[in-house]
Amino acid sequence: MARRNKSNRVKKLLKAEAKPKGIEYDTTLEDCRKWFDILNEELFDNSLSHVPFGFKWLRVCWAYYEYFPKTHERGESIIMHKRYPSQRLFVECLAHEMIHHWQYMNLGWRKVDHAEEFLDWCKKAKSIGLRIGEEQSE
Ligand SMILES: [Zn+2]
């Protein structure tokens, strides 16, 4: 059986949705959900549970993963900047935070970091055409 070339899907979508140079990308909830599902399938074999999104004008990073390890409630969420220089950066930042979500769910909050496990995911992301770990998000 022919295996679908996974790297093509993300690349094609990014190319099709790319705005002309100089036009910034405005984050939408619709895109967050859409790209979460795409990346969940392409990178994480659909193993990630859905997570709420928040939007802020951030000062020191492009996005961050929010979690509350000391409460027993599941309060994690992904906070995205409201605007990105490009949609590609938006997608790469989302993928970055999804890795933290994976770490939190599978390894626990002490392992939400940029160590070895994270770098393995960066390599996997690179294989579908995304550069993670080089953008500026937390
Ligand atoms: Zn990070």
Q: How far does the centroid of ligand 1 lie from the alpha carbon of residue 3, in Å?
A: 31
Task: Locate 60 and state its tokens.
Answer: 């020191």
pLDDT at site 21: 85
pLDDT at site 42: 96
Q: What's the average model confidence in pLDDT over 28-37?
A: 98
Q: How far does the centroid of ligand 1 lie from the alpha carbon of residue 13, in Å?
A: 24
pLDDT at site 4: 59
Side-chain-side CA neighbours of residue 42 (13 Å)? 25
* 72-114 confidence digits (pLDDT tens): 677 899 999 999 999 999 999 999 999 999 999 999 999 999 9
Vertex 36: Cα angle to 110 and 26 (nearest 5) = 110
Vertex 64: Cα angle to 108 and 41 (nearest 5) = 70
Q: How far does the centroid of ligand 1 lie from the alpha carbon of residue 137, in Å?
A: 6
Tell me what percent of the residues of the chain surpass a pLDDT of 90: 78
Q: How far does the centroid of ligand 1 lie from the alpha carbon of residue 94, in Å?
A: 10
The pLDDT-based confidence of 20 (bands split at 50, 70, 90) is confident
pLDDT at site 63: 96
